[in-house]
Amino acid sequence: MSHSVVVSASLVYWAIGGGTAMCADSTHEHLTAADLVQVRDIGGVDGKGLSVSPDGRYVAVEQHQADVPRDTYTVHWLIVGAVDHATLRFVADGGDPSLFKGEQDDGTTSGAWITERPAWMPDSRSILFRRREHGETQIWSAGLDQGAAVQLTHNAADVQGFVLADRGTKVFFKVAESRSMKTQYNVESDESGYRFDDKLYWSLLEGRSIRPRYELVGGPRIWVYELQTHVEREATAPEIQQFEDGQRKIDGADRDSGAKRVVAYDKASKKAAWLSPAFTDKQGRNPPMALYASIGKDRTKARRCVAPECTGMYEYETLIQGGIRWSDSGSEVLFARLDGANNGHRALYAWNPSRNTVRRILATFDWLTDCLPVDQQAICFLETPTHPRRLISVNLKSGATQVLYDPNPEFDKFALGSVERLEWRDALGQETFGYLVRPINYRAGNSYPLIVVGYRGKRALRGGTGDEYPVQLFAAHGFAVLVYDMADPIEVEASAASLEESFLRSWGPRPVEIVRTLSLLEAIIDKLGDQKVVDTHKVGITGFSNGATLAAYALIHSNHFAAASMSSITWDPIGYYLSGGGPYKDLFRRAGFGRPGSPDDRAWKELSLSENTALISAPILINSSDDEYHAAMGAVRALSDADKPIEMFIYPNEFHVKWHPQHRLHIYERNVDWFDFWLNGTEDRESSKTDQYARWRQMRAEIHAAK
pLDDT at 20: 40
What is the average pLDDT across 247-263?
59
pLDDT for residue 390 is more than 50: yes
Rg (CA), the chain: 26
Nearest Cα to Cα of residue 403 among 421, 388, 413 = 388
pLDDT value, residue 6: 43
Could you give phi then psi for residue 244, rounded to 5 degrees?
-65, -40
Q: Would the pLDDT of 99 be above 90?
A: yes
Pairing of strands 620-625, 563-566: parallel
DSSP 617: -
Q: What is the pLDDT of residues 531-557, one digit of tens each?
A: 999 999 999 999 999 999 999 999 999
pLDDT band for position 296 (cuts 50, 70, 90): low
Q: pLDDT category, 637, cuts 50, 70, 90?
A: very high
Under DSSP, the state recorded for 376 is T
Strand pairing class (377-384; 367-374): antiparallel
The predicted model gives 105-129 an average pLDDT of 95
pLDDT surpassing 60 at residue 293: yes
Give pLDDT, residue 15.
35
Does the pLDDT of residue 14 top 50, yes or no? no
Of residues 584 and 469, more confidently modeled = 469
Q: Looking at the predicted structure, is the pLDDT value of residue 289 above 80?
A: yes
What pLDDT score does 84 carry? 73
User: What is the overall mean pLDDT for the chain?
Assistant: 90
Q: Is 604 helix (H, G, I), strand (E, B) or coil?
A: helix
Would the pLDDT of 622 be above 90?
A: yes
Distance CA 308, CA 348 (A): 14
- The pLDDT, as a whole number, for residue 299 is 59
Residue 672 has pLDDT above 90, yes or no: yes
- The predicted model gives 597-603 an average pLDDT of 93
Beta 448-453 vs 534-543: how paired, if at all?
parallel
DSSP secondary structure code for residue 276 in this structure: E
Phi and psi at residue 51, in whole multiples of 5°?
A: -140, 130
- At 297, the pLDDT band (50, 70, 90 cuts) reads low
- What is the tens place of the pLDDT at every residue in 20-74? 444 444 467 889 999 999 999 999 999 999 999 999 999 999 999 999 999 999 9
* Backbone dihedral angles phi then psi of residue 542, each to the nearest 5 degrees: -125, 165
How many CA atoms lie less than 13 Å away from 570 in the CB half-sphere? Answer: 16
H-only helix segments in 531-632: 546-557, 574-578, 585-590, 604-607
Mean pLDDT of 5-23: 38
pLDDT band for 509, please (50, 70, 90 cuts). Answer: confident
Task: Name the helix (H) or strand (E) containing 434.
Answer: strand 431-437
- Higher pLDDT, residue 629 or 270: 629
Q: Residue 393: its pLDDT value, please?
A: 96
- pLDDT digit string (tens) for 226-245? 999 999 999 999 999 999 88
| Residue 205 burial (C-beta neighbours within 10 Å; 0-12, 13-18, 19+) | middle
Question: What percent of the chain clears pLDDT 70, i.e. is strictly above it?
Answer: 92
The distance from CA 148 to its chain's CA centroid, rounded to whole angstroms, is 33
- The mean pLDDT value for 302-316 works out to 93
Q: What is the pLDDT of residue 614?
A: 96
Res 76 pLDDT > 80: yes
Q: Which amino acid is at 326?
A: W
The mean per-residue pLDDT over the stretch 423-434 comes to: 94
Quick one: which of 384, 385, 357 has its CA closest to 368? Answer: 384
In this prediction, what percent of the chain has a pLDDT beyond 90? 78
Residue-range domain boundaries for the chain = 6-28+411-706
Q: How confident is the model at residue 197 (pLDDT cuts 50, 70, 90)?
A: confident
Residue 254: pLDDT band with limits 50, 70, 90: low
pLDDT of amino acid 211 = 84
At 663 the three-state DSSP class reads helix
For the residues 132-152, what does the mean pLDDT come to? 96
Q: Please say whether the beta carbons of 102 and 112 come within 8 A.
A: yes
> What confidence score (pLDDT) does residue 134 get?
95
Q: What is the mean pLDDT of residues 691-702?
A: 96
Superfamily of domain 6-28+411-706: Alpha/Beta hydrolase fold, catalytic domain (3.40.50.1820)
Residue 310: alpha-carbon gap to chain centroid: 27
Least confident of 27-31, 375-379, 652-656, 693-697: 27-31
Instruction: Quote the pLDDT of residue 257.
Output: 41
pLDDT at residue 422 in the model: 96
CA separation for the pair 675, 573 (Å, rounded):
28
